[in-house]
Amino acid sequence: MNYMKWCLLAVAVLGLGSCAGASKKPAEPAKPAVVPAERKGTVGELAAVSGANPILVQGYSLVTGLKGAGGAVLPQSLREEMVKELSRHGIREPQRVLADPDNAVVEVAGLIPPGAAKGERFDLAVAPARGTDTISLEGGFLLQTDLGSAEDRSGGAYVGSFMGDGKGPVFVSPFLLPSDKPTPAPSGGRRPITRAESAGNVASGAAAEVGPGPKSDPRLGRVLGGGRNSAARSLTLQLIDPSSRAADQIIRQINARFPDAAVGRLDPSVITLRIPRSYAHDKVRFVNVVGSIFLADNPAQREEHLRELARQLRRPAERDSAAYGLEAFGKACVPLLEPLQQDPDPAVRFYAARTLTCVGATDTAATLEQFIRDDSSPFQEQAVQALGELAAGGKNQLLAAFDARNPNVRIAAYLTLARVSPSLLPSVKIEDRMELAVVPSRSEPFVFVARQLKPRIVLFGNVEIKPPLMIDTPRYLVTASEGSLKATLISKALGGRHPIETNLSVADIVATMAGPPNSTAESPEPKGLDLAYSDLVGFLDRAHNEGAMNAPIVLEPVQFVGPGTAAKPSGKPAGPESDIVIPEK
């Protein structure tokens, strides 16, 4: 498969933006014809970020455990390459393995994020290799896969520098929306690449019922967090007009704000950026702040620039760039912004509080809490995310966000707490399967299904099955008769023997479906069905579509935002559709 076809596969299955520039060789920055007013006198006027595009990596590998849905048909040239590859990984009798219909040769693609740390995880797209006859990847497991850049592979052979590897269970989405495409970046450079809006989405403050949609293609899947980056991927600043003097000035000012974050090279046109730990979860913001660092050393000029940025917070079109500029000054902006937390304009209050939080001020929780408790505020979700920047405090306010009407706000609160204080969350990690959590909430219940990096199902409120229900698949059977207080779960892999009973709580049913059998010769009755994440999501989808679940499903929007851009919350989480589409062959 050539480079552009790999781009199509990665875009289609990973839900990312255009692969233009996604190779390992970043394009040289061009000198802008006109420098925007907000960039005058800043790092962004003299330099542009390089390495800000994701790196497309690919490989051929084997998916196992397909129970006859794999394929034995394989083009001869690819068969020869796969024999070598399997032998190199220590697999005996590779010809027999390739002929087994329980296995499938697949193409694997992933995008290493810009500025990725060594060992950082990323999603993988998986599809049957061209010319094969695989009919489904459901229930499969991707074996260890070496990943190289698109330019460094020939056929199935790995011939270039090793850039990462991957393996893990294949998630085949039960949802499909062919119009679900990435959103291009507007001219301002700010864009989330998210799924298209549709009538089936769950609106803020409401729980819209969504009927069954078209079935997804079982040949296309993703391995959530299955890729692993082999080496740190540096972000660099490329000077537009290179000079040692300009480079030294930029390095000095960046390091004054972020110690040891900028490193010079012998080549004065290039400066390497090291992302501080406090920004590791938000590299986008770090790059934007670096670009907004003011270079002048004159105290009077710096003071006037600070005051002008504070004034810009009152102008809607300039607030975002002004906030980055104020954050670039660090704690020097605190005296100007603290009084603005009592400003009559809620937008000014919010931007002031968020910026103060980002520069390390600790007395902003009360201001942000006002936005969190206001279900009509357009800043409610962003206030939740800002609380995650507080070094201490803010956790009680985040817990309060679980009662918000807007599902996006509750999801943001959960994901923020999962990052900063996971011990506060009542989650259950099911070994090698997923994470399951039940979050108390006084608002309408819903089910959050993750589709990036980590298999995770979060139940907000009391989510239950409403009998009658019968879901019969090739791998399991779940039934609950009219008037019953119990659900019966059966694993087809065990031949229909040993049914397991649970109560009607969706949390208990999902935990049992995902849990290991833990059966012994003395106690042969299984404790769990040992099912894959795809099966669990498929069960939730079927139960919802049949009207047998008292809550809608909200999907994690699949998105990718690179440095130099910023995600703006939409206020509307996704309904049960999919980012997975069939790439053109």
Instruction: Look at residue 300 in the predicted model and tell me its pLDDT.
Output: 95
Q: What is the DSSP letter of 574?
A: B
Q: Across the chain, which distance is largest between two alpha carbons, in Å? A: 82
304 CB neighbour count, 10 Å cutoff: 12
Higher pLDDT, 274 or 13: 274
Per residue in 417-456, is it b (16+ CB within 10 Å) or e — as a string? bbebeeeebebeebeebbbbbbbebebbbbbbbbbbeebb
Which pLDDT score is estimated for 368? 95
* CA 339/CA 353 separation, integer angstroms: 10
**How large is the C-alpha radius of gyration of the chain?**
26
Mean pLDDT throughout 188-206? 29
Indicate if the pLDDT at residue 464 is higher than 90.
Answer: yes
The Cα–Cα gap between 585 and 582 comes to 9
Tokens coding 103 = 């296995």
376: number of Cβ within 10 Å? 9
Check residue 391 and give its pLDDT.
63
**Which of 64-73, 203-212, 394-403, 413-422 shows the lowest mean pLDDT across its residues?**
203-212
What are the pLDDT digits (tens) for 319-342?
A: 999 999 999 999 999 999 999 999
Return the residue matching tokens 């609106």.
203
Q: Which long-range contacts (CB under 8 A, 24 or more apart) does 490-495 make?
A: 491/517, 491/526, 491/529, 491/530, 491/531, 493/530, 494/526
Residue 430 and residue 436 in contact, taking contact as beta carbons nearer than 8 Å = yes
Phi, psi of 78 (to 5 degrees): -70, -35
Please identify which residue in the block is written with the tokens 């060594």.
Answer: 118
Residue 575 confidence class, pLDDT cut points 50, 70, 90: very low
pTM for this prediction: 0.81
- Cα–Cα–Cα angle for 306, 312, 313, rounded to 5 degrees: 100
Query: pLDDT-based confidence at 30, cuts 50/70/90?
Result: very low
User: If DSSP codes are grouped into helix, strand and coil, which group holds residue 262?
Assistant: strand
**Residue 150: what pLDDT?**
66
Answer for the pair 276, 286: CB distance below 8 angstroms, yes or no.
yes
More confident of the two residues 74 and 237: 237
Q: What is the pLDDT of residue 88?
A: 82
Q: Which two tokens stand for residue 325?
A: 């500029």
Q: What is the reported pLDDT for 66?
A: 92
Confidence of residue 396 (pLDDT cuts 50, 70, 90): confident
**Residues facing residue 49 across a β-bridge:** 237
Within 316-357, strands assigned E span none
Options 3.60.150.10, 3.40.50.720, 3.40.47.10, 1.25.10.10; CATH for 299-424 is 1.25.10.10
Which region among 85-89, 162-166, 234-238 has the lowest average model confidence (pLDDT)? 85-89
Q: Give CA–CA dist 489/62, Å, rounded.
A: 31
Residues 6 and 150: beta-carbon distance below 8 Å? yes
Residue 524: Cβ-neighbour burial (10 angstroms; 0-12, 13-18, 19+): exposed
- Tell me the torsion sign for CA atoms 500, 504, 508, 512: positive
Token pair in block for residue 503:
């109560």
Q: Which helix (H) or strand (E) holds 81?
A: helix 76-88
What's the confidence (pLDDT) of residue 393? 64
The amino acid occupying position 413 is A
pLDDT tens digit string along 252-289?
A: 999 999 999 999 988 999 999 999 999 998 898 999 99
Give kind and range of the element (H or E) at residue 254: helix 244-257
Other C-beta atoms lying within 10 Å of the C-beta of residue 178: 13
Q: What burial class does residue 259 get, using C-beta atoms within 10 Å of its C-beta: 0-12 exposed, 13-18 middle, 19+ buried?
A: exposed
Find the angle CA(402)-CA(405)-CA(411) to the nearest 5 degrees: 45
Q: What is the pLDDT of residue 218?
A: 86
